[in-house]
Amino acid sequence: MSSEKIERVGIVGAGQMGAGIAEVCARARVDVLVFEKTAELADAGRARIRKSLDRGVSSGKITERERDQAADCLRFTTDLADFADRQIVVEAVLENERIKTEIFAELDRVVTDDDAVLASNTSSLPITRIATATTRPERVVGLHFFNPVPVLPLVELIPSLRTSDAVIERAERFAADVLGKQVVRASDRSGFVVNALLVPYLLSAVRMVESGFATTEDIDKATVLGLAHPMGPLALSDLIGLDTVKSIADSMYEEYKEPLYAAPPLLLRMVEGGLLGKKSGQGFYTYENGRIVS
Ligand code: 3HC
């Protein structure tokens, strides 16, 4: 097993989750290389991280110097071949099996370090299926972060049937010791621990709105005030992204064939209509500058 300290990390994707993971790595002062498909997407990812770091400064969590040091740890590329020297790569692209397996096949070709860890931030796809897209399935593991990544302390660690003990241990040390996250282990079953519990709850809330059982506002108010949740299920669905909620539900439905995982028609129509939640400005609520306005 390699005891070499992890200093060179690659993140594939600079969307909501990828940017959050990159930020947390940069704040831990490791060298972070972020891949995006185009220069425009890379610029958007850089701006997203910068905004979040600025928020850390304004809320007194980090100093301006720490923000600048974190920013100095970040580089961007549009060429996955630049990941050759990475010791750990975390893939955080769309929840689409074909796209993810293509990326893992490419990472397998370009990452040269025999001890490298190839991790996926998938929310629900089986790690074993992603791993078999590579010639090194023992190097592949799930590392599932939670949104907003700089705020939520949990990481789920998901070994596949083929992951080596050395890779499991290295990935756990990275999440716990380098990034300072709390780690729980989960079996390689769609949804792992958190989404297996969360998604049926979110879908039930959508069904309540759909049937007219209660209003969006009252459902959220009830869970915030009655259960002390930080936000209600419909605001949380908007935060996660309704397309992502649907993709996770679809994976879990495919895995378990249980009606409680079936995406309700209202969710399907909202996704088809481009109402994706906070990121598109409209979901169960309307957003301006990331804040709910109605
Ligand atoms: N980046 C950095 N810091 C952030 C942040 C971000 N994107 N969003 C919020 N924060 C920080 C703020 O700076 C603030 O820090 P402070 O208390 O030190 O000032 C703190 O978090 C609280 O933020 P706000 O005051 O702006 O807002 P809230 O108090 O309403 O908290 C929230 C916002 C952190 C999003 C909170 O509502 C929350 O934790 N909600 C639940 C989120 C959740 O359940 N996430 C898991 C989703 S499931 C998932 O990700 C899995 C995937 O597979 C689907």
Ligand 1, atom 38: nearest CA belongs to which residue?
230
For ligand 1, pick from 24, 58, 59, 100 the residue to mutate: most ligand atoms within 8 Å of CB.
59
Q: How confident is the model at residue 33 (pLDDT cuts 50, 70, 90)?
A: very high
Q: Residue 2, Cα to own-chain centre: how many angstroms?
A: 26
Distance CA 98, CA 53 (A): 33
Is 195 known to be catalytic?
Answer: yes
- Name which CATH class applies to 195-284: mainly alpha
Is 144 known to be catalytic?
Answer: yes
Q: How confident is the model at residue 14 (pLDDT cuts 50, 70, 90)?
A: very high
- Least confident interval from 2-11, 67-76, 130-139: 2-11
| Whether the complex's predicted ipTM surpasses the cut of 0.90 | yes
The ranges assigned to domains in the chain are 8-185, 195-284
pLDDT at 124: 87
Among the options 36, 120, 121, 144, which is catalytic? 144
- Least confident interval from 108-112, 207-211, 289-293: 289-293
Q: Is the CB of 90 under 6 A from ligand 1?
A: no
User: Given a cut of 60, is residue 81 above it in pLDDT?
Assistant: yes
Mean pLDDT (the chain) is 96
Name the pTM for this structure.
0.94
Is 123 known to be catalytic?
Answer: yes
User: Given a cut of 80, is residue 3 above it in pLDDT?
Assistant: no
Is 102 known to be catalytic?
Answer: no
Residue 183, C-beta contacts closer than 8 angstroms, at least 6 positions apart:
154, 155, 156, 157, 172, 175, 176
Distance CA 76, CA 267 (A): 34
pLDDT at 5: 87
Q: Of 139, 164, 148, nearest to 240 (Cα)? A: 148
- Name which CATH class applies to 8-185: alpha beta
133 or 5: whose pLDDT is higher?
133
Q: Is the CB of 281 under 6 A from ligand 1?
A: no
**pLDDT tens-digit readout, 164-198:** 999 999 999 999 999 999 999 999 999 999 999 99
